[in-house]
Structure 1
Amino acid sequence: MKKTFKIAHRVVGGDAPCLFIAEAGVAHFGDMGMARDLVDLAAEGNSDVFKIQIFDVDTLLSAEAEEWKDRLRPRNLTLDQVFELKEFVESKGMLFMATAHDQSRLSWLEELDLPAIKVGSGELGNHWFLKKLAKLGKPMIVSTGMYAEQDVVELLEAIESTGNDELALLHCVTSYPTPAGDVNIAAMDSLARVFSGPVGYSDHTEDHLAVLGAVARGAKIVEKHITILRDIPNAQDWKVSAGPEDLAQLVDDIRKMETMIGSGVKKPAECEAGGMSWALKSVVAVRQLPAGHVLAEADITTKRPAGGIPADQMEKLLGRVTSRCFAKDEKIDLTGIE
């Protein structure tokens, strides 16, 4: 698998900025006005991607799940509506993506000509469907909620068999909300051990700590649900969503965190130059020292500020002779030492 690839104009992986996906899911509840409001929310929050979920309830769900069908049916959009939404998203400067939850929507993905294919965790083990998605020839982003490491290996084998080598994996926990003790951000490291492509995180927690923690740990893609409405019966995404009150702050914090991660090279920062003058220490006289005095350990110490003989040179002065007097706390300088 490629370590980096492009989704439209955006590089994913390597040193590229983390790709932020605003996951609207079905938070539009089938209302195009609400869908447009969600797009505005994502755009105002500086999201890179706006994403929804598309499906046909009768293809997605079996007859024994009639309650789920009744719940999801009003939250569906037509293909014309999705095209309209895609155009609106792109007019805001964002990429548009959709997760197809069943085979009836494969043709939609082709017609929409999306820049990448996002796959939900529910396709665990559903290799025949995953292969069909991979054969669309687009970069893929796959969430791995409920996966064990062997499941990841089998997923990779399935995708690789299609010749698609542009894949990113997102660590995810399929629980709404996810308890803090189950987030397991370090599982991204496990993904990276068996997979050479970009690794990221899809969040289902109630706040932003896990997202920032994932970015700090090296996530190349982050996905967070967004919503405008709260306290919706028969819905769960709003419980783990960012909204108008905090989405922009979350994305801003992600960008700050990326800046804080830095290059990884251990060296003095430019901003430390001023600190070196007052925080570092110089060698000074412990007491008044006469000329002709042989310096012993009891005669000298190190004190702030810098500017004299550095602290790491103190031991080299032992046994040398003063050529002039030094006052208590006066910096020792080489001109006064023989």
Structure 2
Amino acid sequence: MRELQVADFTISDETDAYVIAEIGHNHEGDLGKAIELVRRAAAAGANAAKLQKRDNRSLYTREMYDQPYTGRNSYGATYGLHREALEFGRTEYVELQQLSAELSIDFISTAFDFPSVDFLADVGVPAIKLASADLTNTPLLAYAAKTSKPLIVSTGGAEMDDVRRAVETILPINPNLALLQCTAVYPASAADLNLSVITTYRREFPEVVVGFSGHDDTPEASYTAFALGARVVEKHFTLDRARPGSDHHFSLEPSHLTELVEGLRRTRESLGSNVKRQLPGEAGALRKMGKKLVAAFDLPAGHQLTERDIAIKSPGGDGMKPYLLTEILGRTLTTPLAADAEFSMGQLS
């Protein structure tokens, strides 16, 4: 069965989407901004607010850590100092966890390295995200899987063999997996999204929950993703798209996140049942616009019916449906019938 439990939310084909507000580092290293982002994510109806966790000294080569990093999006003179300025530690994580619990929103994070997996497991997040860039990092995937926490794995920039390898690495260790179609373009255009991959994942991995991590800057594609079977939807989230930083410009603002959550619920409602049947609410329109078989003009008892004697007219009501025309042709009336009166089998011999 395709199902994933994250904290109190059961994700399956029968549920609403599990919506992740990806804060990332849009808090700009400011705990106050992070608190506001979590509050606004909860108010918008998201199921989870998500950060990113890096152990920068072990993650980057010394050359990359020390390389100059200047410009509008920089928070430090070198790339390493930039990343450190954006990193939260245990104190911030615990405070944000406590706030999230009060607001009834899950608090999760992406682990980019082994120490970060340990950190997140230790602070007790209900799920761990693995980024697209680590889809081929099978040692990290296996290490995260061993925590037994639900894993949510993005697949941007991957070939199908990379996805298969990742799934084959995780599932023997940990069956609690969601696989997200993703495109590593920031922002991604509609032509970049390839949402049809969602159906490929659902077909190839029938036991795995499938989702969509969208780097497009509007909610609309997420509705299509849900209709195709995505039940986890992740979108970057900010308070202000105009802020400096690499992610703000394609992130959803609070009003957009509210629109996303509400739109996904409407999408589920509109999908409805896969059983085709007449709904009670359709009866009025069908009576008014539907058709029935009636006498074309006054017909006497004993008359043998021809096509000339029968008209097809509205309202439909409970009369004989037009598809029964061939069943009454050639039959004989046992009683007279006035023009526009309905035919019934009880009048025919």
State the TM-score, normalizing by the size of structure 2.
0.90
Kindly tell me the number of residue pairs found equivalent between the two proteins.
335
Inter-partner Cα distance in structure 2 for 1:139 and 1:78: 22
Q: CA deviation at 1:334?
A: 4.1
1:200 paired with 2:211, answer yes
Q: CA deviation at 1:71?
A: 3.8
Tell me which residue corresponds to 1:132.
Answer: 143
1:264 paired with 2:263, answer no
Tell me which residue corresponds to 2:154.
Answer: 143
Tell me which residue corresponds to 2:17.
Answer: 18
1:9-88 paired onto structure 2 within 5 Å: 9-62=8-61, 63-64=63-64, 66=67, 67=69, 68-88=79-99
Provide, for residues 7-59 of structure 1, a one-character-per-residue CA deviation record: whole Å limited to 9, x for no partner: 12211224233211111111111111111111111111111111111113333
Letter matched to residue 172 of structure 1: C
CA contact (8 A) 1:18 1:219 kept: yes
CA contact (8 A) 1:149 1:190 kept: no
CA contact (8 A) 1:3 1:198 kept: yes
Q: CA deviation at 1:229?
A: 1.7
1:53-202 paired onto structure 2 within 5 Å: 53-62=52-61, 63-64=63-64, 66=67, 67=69, 68-161=79-172, 163-195=173-205, 196-202=207-213
1:241-260 paired onto structure 2 within 5 Å: 241-260=251-270
Inter-partner Cα distance in structure 2 for 1:302 and 1:25: 64
Inter-partner Cα distance in structure 2 for 1:25 and 1:245: 18
CA contact (8 A) 1:124 1:146 kept: no
**2:325 equivalent among 309, 314, 330:** 314
Q: CA deviation at 1:5?
A: 3.1
CA contact (8 A) 2:241 2:251 kept: no
Provide, for residues 95-120 of structure 1, a one-character-per-residue CA deviation record: whole Å limited to 9, x for no partner: 11011122232221122111111111
Q: Percent identity?
A: 33
Q: CA deviation at 1:94?
A: 0.9
Provide, for residues 46-83 of structure 1, a one-character-per-residue CA deviation record: whole Å limited to 9, x for no partner: 11111111113333333236324344332211221111
Provide, for residues 197-245 of structure 1, a one-character-per-residue CA deviation record: whole Å limited to 9, x for no partner: 1111111111111100011111121111111022233x23223222122
Uncovered stretches (5+) of structure 1, i.e. residues with no partner: none
Uncovered stretches (5+) of structure 2, i.e. residues with no partner: 70-78
1:232 paired with 2:231, answer no
CA contact (8 A) 1:290 1:324 kept: yes
CA contact (8 A) 2:53 2:110 kept: yes
Q: CA deviation at 1:324?
A: 4.4
CA contact (8 A) 1:281 1:303 kept: yes
**1:276 equivalent among 286, 311, 317:** 286
What is the CA RMSD across the aligned residues, in angstroms?
A: 1.9
Inter-partner Cα distance in structure 1 for 2:104 and 2:47: 8
Provide, for residues 134-191 of structure 1, a one-character-per-residue CA deviation record: whole Å limited to 9, x for no partner: 1111111101111111111111222134x21111101111111111112111101111
CA contact (8 A) 2:320 2:343 kept: yes
Inter-partner Cα distance in structure 2 for 1:157 and 1:309: 59
Letter matched to residue 64 of structure 1: M
The verdict on how the C-alpha distance between 1:145 and 1:91 changes in structure 2, with shifts beyond 3 A counting, is same
Provide, for residues 277-304 of structure 1, a one-character-per-residue CA deviation record: whole Å limited to 9, x for no partner: 2232210123343443321112213222
Letter matched to residue 254 of structure 1: L
Q: Which moved more, 1:72-81 or 1:127-136?
A: 72-81
Tell me which residue corresponds to 1:217.
Answer: 228
SS of residue in 1 equivalent to 2:265 = helix
Inter-partner Cα distance in structure 2 for 1:140 and 1:273: 47
